[in-house]
Amino acid sequence: MKTIHNQELKAFIKEHSNLFWYTPEEKKEEISLELLLETILNYGDQESVKGLFELIGIDMASDVFNKQISNKRDNYFAPVKNFFQLYFNRHAQGNIKQ
């Protein structure tokens, strides 16, 4: 798992701190990119998803998401997983069909 050290991402986590209620305050800046993406896609609103994509890029989000769902088990809600599979297939660079 990748640990986040970027100041903009740390500010983003702080802004959405309520979504990470189960993580001790002093550990929130140490969460992985995988956990951040999973939490924002499952529990965030449209603006938080958009903000995260602006920070990490849609291609990186797609790569992390696809890696997560390729495991036998993942923590995405079924409708969220379905939506973002379709979304990334359509909008991520690695998936654009010519």
Q: What is the pLDDT along the chain (98 residues), one digit of tens a residue?
A: 455 558 889 899 999 999 999 899 899 888 999 999 999 999 999 999 999 999 999 999 999 999 999 998 999 999 999 999 999 999 998 654 43
The pLDDT of residue 20: 92
Q: 3-class DSSP state for residue 98?
A: coil
Q: Are 29 and 4 in contact (CB under 8 A)?
A: yes
d(CA 44, CA 19): 8
d(CA 28, CA 46): 22
What percentage of the chain's residues is helix, strand, coil (to nearest 5)? 70, 0, 25
pTM for this model (two decimals) = 0.87
